[in-house]
Copies of this chain bind each other. A is one copy, B any other.
Amino acid sequence: MSQGSGEHQLKYMFYPKSVAVIGASRKPGKIGHEILRNLIEYGYPGKIYPVNPSADEILGLKCYKSVLEIPDEVDLAVISVPAKFVPEVLEQCGKKGVKAVAVISAGFGEIGNVDLERKIVEIARKYNMRLLGPNIFGLVYTPSKLNASFGPRDVLPGNIAFISQSGALGIALMGWTILEEIGLSAVVSVGNKADIEDADLLEFFGKDEHTKVILIYMEGVKDGRKFMKVAREVSKRKPIVVIKAGRSERGAKAAASHTGSLAGSDRVYDAAFKQCGVLRANNFEEAFDWARALAILPPPSGENVVIITNGGGAGVLATDACEAYGLKLLEMPKDLEDKFRKYMPAFGSPHNPIDLTGQASEEQYKGALLEALNEPRIHSIILLYCQTIITDPEALADAIIEAYTQAKVKKPIVVNFVGGVECDRAMRKMEKAGIPTYPTPERAVSALAALHRWARYAGYIKQT
């Protein structure tokens, strides 16, 4: 469905030199106002041109009667006018030589106006413009300081590209990522996917140096074959995480009435995702848990995992989770047991889980962690800590960051601290230092398991 020049044109969408907001409004709360304000306040450094036939100036910027009046090239036009005016506006954009358009307006295929939707795609194609939407909340691309959405403003920069088929949920999740301090390279609302669809964005983000992980909330795909073809290739370079809603029969029906997607049989999706190396998450919490690990950790070079803990209980829970999520715990060789024994009292356990006991100090944690990081027979590490009065969580966080920085080899590590507000602070500190942290042992294990699955698909772990 995409054009030959598609990828080329998508660059103008994410790296525009100038943006027109057609349907810009003076009224706070109006979509055409909020988009313009987000563009300005998020710090977009290019030219911004509000278009509104009945205003001279909005938010301090000179306003134009139509896009044709703008005395400059326009790379991206964000369109927020009533649906019936969209064809006319698109014709003007085409004549102006606009490269890409994001049609915010609703009132197309999603409410049965299929002809109107077909018409706008035809106009876009005629002028070789790529079209995002319609029926979307906009797009964000943090490397360009571009927030052309009416969602929350202060999206944190990072390297996860988030693509959402759902509007309200997508906007809400933008806010949630800010709350959870999750960095994003992009947020793209795909809406009705009349022209630009998931596969196009996979191609773009697959090559985008600012994106390490692509996360998609999806209710259905338009062209399954194309999606699979592209996903199979992109997955070899970058992990793709998908939340595919409409698992259940009733959920699929609800999805159909929501976005008009033909959700298809869930088992078909499941099989297709597996075949393409796509990591399917059960919910958005899990999806972002995985994406955070995938975005900052190196891939493991083998299957051997060790658990380091100061709490036997947490170690047991993580062991159970390793089996449930398909991670292989290293059978500890005698010489390794002896090495780890140095970092624990006599009643500790150097088996795997390595139990440093509740008496473990920062130094012992650091010693054991360095041992694991520098040991070639160990490929990934799960580090757990239960808050005690013996070890201060923040001092322990510093010790872990030091060990991770000092280690000769980079290998994946996921961390879970269980305890009070001090643990929360310590985890945020590690997160900032590039170590992914989780609120439970199971969620840490689940994220590491996703990384292992991807590493197997992409060939970092040799299949035996």
Contact = CB atoms under 8 A, between A and B. Distances in A.
A440 B285 CA distance: 7
A333 interface: no
Nearest to A360: B168
A420 interface: yes
A165 B316 contact: no
Nearest to A164: B313
Contacts of A172: 311, 314, 386-388, 418-419, 423
Nearest to A441: B283
B312 A259 contact: yes
Contacts of A257: 312, 349, 351
A268 interface: no
Contact of A316 (B150, B258, B423): B258
B320 A248 contact: yes
A85 interface: no
Contacts of A169: 311-314, 317, 386, 418
Contact of A313 (B247, B258, B311, B321): B258
Given A169-B386, A389-B29, A389-B34, A317 B283 contact: yes
A163 to B, nearest CB: 13
Interface stretch (A40-48, A173-181, A270-278, A372-380): A173-181
A311 B353 CA distance: 43
A168 B312 contact: yes
Interface string A251-282: 10011011100000000000000000000001
Given A284-B440, A442-B283, A165 B420 contact: no
Contact of A247 (B312, B324, B423): B324
A310 to B, nearest CB: 6
B324 A248 contact: yes
Given A247-B323, A250-B319, A323-B247, A312 B258 contact: yes
A150 B387 CA distance: 12
A397 interface: no
A146 B419 CA distance: 21
Interface in A197-228: 217, 219
Given A179-B421, A442-B283, A171 B313 contact: no
Given A171-B386, A254-B312, A254-B319, 5 more contacts: A168-B358, A175-B418, A175-B420, A248-B320, A250-B319
Interface of A: 29, 34, 111, 150, 152, 164-173, 175-176, 178-179, 217, 219, 243, 245-251, 254-255, 257-259, 282-285, 310-317, 319-324, 329, 347, 349, 351, 353, 355, 358, 386-389, 418-424, 439-443
